[in-house]
Each structure stands twice: as C-alpha cells, then as structure tokens.
Structure 1
Amino acid sequence: MLLQKDQNPALNTVTAYGDGFLEINRVRYDSAICFAPEGPIRGLAVRAAAELDAALLQDLVGLKPAARDPLAFLDDAEPALERPADAPEVLLIGTGPRQIFLRPDVLRPLLSLGIGVETMTTQAAARTYNILMSEERRVLALLLPGDPS
C-alpha cells in the first residue's frame, strides 16, 4: 500500500508497507527497523515483539544511567536513568500484522521518564508515525514487518 505521494526528502517517511516489508523513503526493508524523522534508519535483529526487552528500548531511545551517589546501592534501588534532551516524546512500536502488548516491566523505564510508548499493528504504527512526523513531533518508530506468509 502506498502511503505518501509527496515527501520531504530530508525526513524519513514511511512510503509503503506490505506483507513482510516496509518502505522508508522508497527504500525497501524486509527486517525490523528503528528510525526517527531525521537520522539513520537502524536495522534490528528482532523478529518478534516477544524479543523486545527494556534494555533494547532504552538503547534505542538513548537513555543513559544517571549520575548516582556511590552509596545508593545501600538503598537497594534500581539504577536511575537520565532522559536526554533530544529523547522522543513517543515511541511507536509496530508489532507486525497483530497488535501485541509488551510486558509492563519492559515499558516501565520509558514511561517513568515521561516517554510515551504505543504498541499497535505495523500498518497503524506506520500511518501514525507519518502523521506525528508531519506535525514535527519528536517520534521514534520501531517497526516489525511481520511474516509475509
């Protein structure tokens, strides 16, 4: 399905999708990808939503461990994370042809820092990404193409 006729070549735009593939700026991808409106398109070695974990999502968003008190381990608290200034407002996760919700422990670190996370079908995530990107929102998309069968 063709999504966008006109596009700004400076921005990453979902131009098409189909069974088992995604197209960003008219370049076809057959595996999971992560991208923002600007910057590189990052290929991921993830084949299913069940493989997504908190560490991967934190890495994609750019979260770093915050400076800690060296005695903080005495409080038995989880390591604190620092939200970078350019962190996305929302992370859209396209889980393939079916919507699959991620476990709360996977989402909790992002949500605690005010980063919204939405899981939906890849088709819905692609359309939502294009809308948010056109509104100049800070959005990050992680899209799984799904099984072509």
Structure 2
Amino acid sequence: MKLHTDPASAALNTVTAYGDGYIEVNQVRFSHAVAFGPEGPVSHWPVQAPDQITPQLLRQAAGLPETPRDPLAFLDEAEGAPAPLPPGAPEVLLIGTGARQRFLRPEVLQPLLTSGIGIEVMDTQAAARTYNILMSEGRRVVVALIPQGEPT
C-alpha cells in the first residue's frame, strides 16, 4: 500500500509505504525492523519476530538510555502519583508485530509502563498508520515496526 505525505510534515519521519518484507520511511525502503520517532534517525531494530522482543529492546526502540533507578527514589514520590516520564521519553511507543497482532508478555511491557510510557501493540500496517496520525498531531510518539511477510 502506498501512503502519501502531507507537505507540511515533509521534514518529519513518515511511513510512506509498507508491504511484504519491507517498510518505507521518507521513501527509503528497509527490509529489516526499524524504530524511529518524528525526528532523528531511522534505526535498525534487531528483532525479526515478536517473541524476540525484550524490555531492553523496547527501551532501545523508545530511545531511552539504560540508567539505573535510585532504589530510594520512591521516598520522594507522592503516593499514587504516576511515574514521571524520563527526559526525552515518548508519550507512547507503538509496536508493529508483522502481518498479525501478537501481544507481548506483561513482564516485557512492565518496565516501560511503570516509567509512564504507553505501549500499543498492533499489526505493522495499523502501527504505521497510527504513527503517521499521531506524529502529524505533534504527539511524542515512537514506532518500532517488524516487516510483514518475506522480503521482496
């Protein structure tokens, strides 16, 4: 399926097409999984199937550095208050799991969820379309997409 970009958002990373074995971002075709936000590079994401996704790979996709959490930080946090987002963190991370939606294990999602980052898991086509919409609305969104099917 070919998608068309809005000229006003030409400087932002936009999914311009997808199909069997590829994802196209800004009219550049990738035959491997990628992760990116509206600005910055489109990065290779070392995942070939949803069951390979780990909490560390989700952090990588979201662009979050591995920083150890202060074990006493809970003392300064208000009870019941949502966790503050890490600096530079997206509001939401979209995961495209290929041709079919494949849910991730709760223990894989939990570290980012407790950091206050929303995670939505869907098939790659839906994730690409949702990313383009949220990005065009100016939302802080990051997407990680696994190509569907075999490379062409």
Q: For this structure pair, what is the TM-score category when the shorter chain's length is used for normalisation?
A: 0.7 to 0.9
Preserved contact between residue 86 and residue 115 of structure 2 (Cα < 8 Å): no
What's the Cα RMSD here?
1.8
Whether the 8 Å contact between 2:19 and 2:148 is mirrored in structure 1 is no
Residue ranges of structure 1 left out of the alignment (5+ in a row): 70-80
Deviation per CA, 1:44-94, whole angstroms, max 9, x where unpaired? 22100000001111233205222345xxxxxxxxxxx98422200000000
Residue 73 of structure 1 is matched in structure 2 by: none
- For normalisation by structure 1, the TM-score amounts to 0.85
Q: How many residues align?
A: 138
Q: 3-state DSSP class of the match of 1:34?
A: strand
Query: For residues 76-126 of structure 1, what are the alpha-carbon distances to aligned partners after superposition, in whole Å with 9 as ceiling and x for unaligned?
Result: xxxxx9842220000000000000000000000111121110010000000
* 8 Å CA contact retained: 1:90, 1:116: yes
Q: What TM-score results when the alignment is normalised by the length of structure 2? A: 0.84
- What is the match of residue 72 of structure 1? none
- Ranges of 4+ aligned residues in structure 1 off by more than 6 Å: none
Aligned residue number for residue 75 of structure 1: none
Identity of aligned residues (%): 54
Partner Cα separation in structure 2 for residue 28 and residue 21 of structure 1: 6
Match of 1:103 among 102, 105, 125: 105
